[in-house]
């Protein structure tokens, strides 16, 4: 679970870096990253607490047990829908960035459908296989990150530590504003725990793993924020669609590597494809458990639905982004996810108190 969560955070950190691009924290973006890490660790801990109340079950099962048949079904399907939309959004991100930076002349649907195919294949193989795949992919990503940092240190770059100060020049609000979106994104990781219910066995120290993963990836987010602010400068970093990609493009090892964005692209691609797979898998598990179906039956259906959306609305499908400003899936969706977690926790706590009051187990 630790590795799954870390790996699903890599892509967002490598390309979007919302802590830098959203809000007006500028030189204090790294503070925003730290704040987001702390907030998201708390949110993820709440989600893990909820998951640990129902070991071995996904949200699709225990929502029904807790909220009743129809309300539980509604909540489960709503969460599954959020994850389905997240899958579409990841497809959008991948397509936009790949087309914009690597292969500009290739039609967008090639990227979308190829990633979707791999994601459907991965989700079809199931959560166990994805857990093992995460262990392999994280090694490659970690290796690429280490090499990237070495290149960064070795490359002659215009670094100005003064660009990180003065601290809190614009006050606390810009920092808090910059932290909101990353924190909500990390909530998605918490939601992932609820979907991959089979990992929540009582013997596992789930909460520690989830919080640890959020903290580890939060540190990486802070490091990326510092690097992009140092090298690009606060204002230019904020204006970039993908600040770390711009940083990587600026790095040059004479005679060896003309540009080092390849390393970042590898990290980002591996992370993003894996993230898409996990989102699709969570959507499939939650909806399958809610409807009493087999996950392997639901995955192809969801995959086909995603492909249909992409094919039918190729020109406008990515308007999801515009329709859901300021984040593509919509703050509403993320808040809905947070609301579900909070609601379930409250109901579970109340029912637990009631049971205790009645002398139940």
Partner 1 sequence: MAFIRSRLGRRPEGASQARTAELRGERPLYADLDQNIRVLKQELGNPADLAVKEFLLGGRRNLRGAVLCLDTLADETLVNDILLTPLMIWARQELGGRTARGKLIGAVRHSLATAKKVKDISCLDMLVTHILRGDTVFLADGVQTGLVIETKGWPARAVAEPSTEVTTRGPHLGFNETIKDNLGLVRLRFKTPGLMVERLFIGDRSKTDVRILYHKDLAPPQLVAEVRRRLRAIETDVVLDSGVIQNLISDHRLSLFLTTRSSERPDSVVADLNDGRVAVLVDGTPFVITMPNDIYSFFASPEDNYIGYPVATLLRLMRFQGFFISTFATPFYIAMVGFHQELIPLPLLLNIASTQGGVPFPLAVTAVLAEIVVEVLREAGVRLPKQFGPAVSIVGALVLGQAAIQAGFISPGLVIVVTTATIASFAVPRSEAVISFRLLRFPFLLLGTVLGFYGLALGMVAVTYHVAAMKSFGVPFLSMYAPGRVSELGEKPVLLPEALRRPVRPAAYRDRTHRGPLPAPKDPNQP
What residues line the site for partner 1 (CB under 8 A)? 98, 102-103, 106, 110-111, 114-115, 118, 121-122, 125-126, 128-137, 140, 254-259, 261-262, 265-266, 269-270, 273-274, 277
CB of 306 to partner 1, least distance (A): 16
CA distances from 208 to 42, 126, 288 (A): 11, 23, 28
Q: Helix, strand, or coil here: 257? A: strand
**Rounded to whole angstroms, how far apart are CA atoms 17 and 6?**
15
Residue (90 or 261) nearer to partner 1, CB: 261
206-232 and 173-195 are packed helices; what angle lies between their axes, rounded to 10 degrees? 140
Query: Cβ distance 19 to 33 under 8 Å?
Result: yes
Q: Give me 54's structure tokens.
A: 């129902």
Residue (128 or 169) nearer to partner 1, CB: 128
Query: Cβ distance 323 to 124 under 8 Å?
Result: no
CB of 3 to partner 1, least distance (A): 9
CB of 186 to partner 1, least distance (A): 23
Residue (31 or 138) nearer to partner 1, CB: 138
Residue (62 or 111) nearer to partner 1, CB: 111
Sorted by sequence, the CB contacts under 8 Å of residue 190 that are 6+ apart come out as 40, 43, 44, 46, 47, 48, 210, 341
Residue (266 or 345) nearer to partner 1, CB: 266
CB of 94 to partner 1, least distance (A): 9
CB of 357 to partner 1, least distance (A): 41
CB of 133 to partner 1, least distance (A): 4
Query: Cβ distance 4 to 192 under 8 Å?
Result: yes
Q: Give me 8's structure tokens.
A: 């699903």
CA distances from 20 to 15, 239, 330 (A): 11, 9, 19
Specify the length of the chain in residues: 361
Is residue 341 exposed (0-12), middle (13-18) or buried (19+ Cβ within 10 Å)? buried
Residue (133 or 223) nearer to partner 1, CB: 133
Residue (84 or 111) nearer to partner 1, CB: 111
Query: Cβ distance 262 to 242 under 8 Å?
Result: no
Residue (131 or 233) nearer to partner 1, CB: 131
**Rounded to whole angstroms, how far apart are CA atoms 130 and 104?**
31
CB of 232 to partner 1, least distance (A): 19
Which candidate, 166, 212, 229, places its Cα nearest to that of 33?
A: 229
CB of 103 to partner 1, least distance (A): 6
């Amino acid at each position: 679970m630790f590795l799954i969560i870390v790996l699903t955070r890599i892509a967002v950190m490598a390309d979007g870096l919302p802590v830098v691009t959203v809000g007006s924290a500028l030189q204090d973006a790294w503070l925003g990253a730290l704040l987001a890490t702390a907030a998201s660790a708390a949110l993820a801990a709440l989600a893990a607490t909820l998951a640990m109340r129902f070991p071995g079950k996904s949200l699709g099962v225990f929502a029904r047990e807790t909220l009743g048949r129809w309300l539980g079904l509604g909540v489960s399907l709503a969460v599954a829908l959020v994850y389905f939309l997240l899958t579409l959004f990841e497809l959008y991100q991948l397509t936009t960035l790949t087309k914009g930076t690597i292969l500009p002349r290739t039609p967008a649907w090639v990227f979308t459908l190829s990633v979707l195919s791999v994601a459907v294949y991965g989700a079809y193989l199931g959560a166990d296989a994805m857990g093992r795949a995460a262990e392999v992919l994280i090694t490659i990503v970690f290796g690429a990150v280490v090499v990237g940092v070495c290149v960064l240190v070795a490359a002659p770059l215009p670094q100005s530590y003064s660009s990180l100060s003065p601290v809190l020049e614009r006050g606390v609000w810009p920092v808090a504003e910059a932290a909101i979106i990353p924190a909500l994104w990390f909530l998605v990781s918490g939601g992932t725990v609820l979907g991959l219910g089979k990992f929540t066995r009582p013997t596992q120290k789930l909460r520690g793993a989830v919080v640890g993963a959020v903290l580890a990836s939060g540190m990486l987010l802070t490091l990326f924020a510092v690097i992009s602010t140092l090298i690009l400068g606060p204002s230019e970093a904020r204006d970039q669609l993908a600040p770390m990609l711009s940083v990587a493009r600026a790095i040059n090892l004479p005679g060896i590597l003309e540009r080092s964005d390849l390393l970042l692209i590898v990290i980002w691609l591996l992370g993003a494809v894996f993230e898409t797979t996990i989102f699709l898998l969570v959507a499939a598990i939650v909806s399958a458990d809610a409807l009493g179906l087999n996950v392997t039956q639901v995955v192809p259906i969801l995959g086909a639905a995603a492909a249909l959306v992409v094919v039918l609305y190729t020109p406008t499908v990515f308007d999801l982004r515009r329709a859901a400003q300021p984040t593509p899936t919509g703050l509403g969706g993320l808040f809905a996810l947070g609301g579900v977690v909070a609601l379930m926790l409250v109901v579970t706590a109340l029912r637990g108190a009631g049971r205790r009051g009645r002398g139940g187990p």
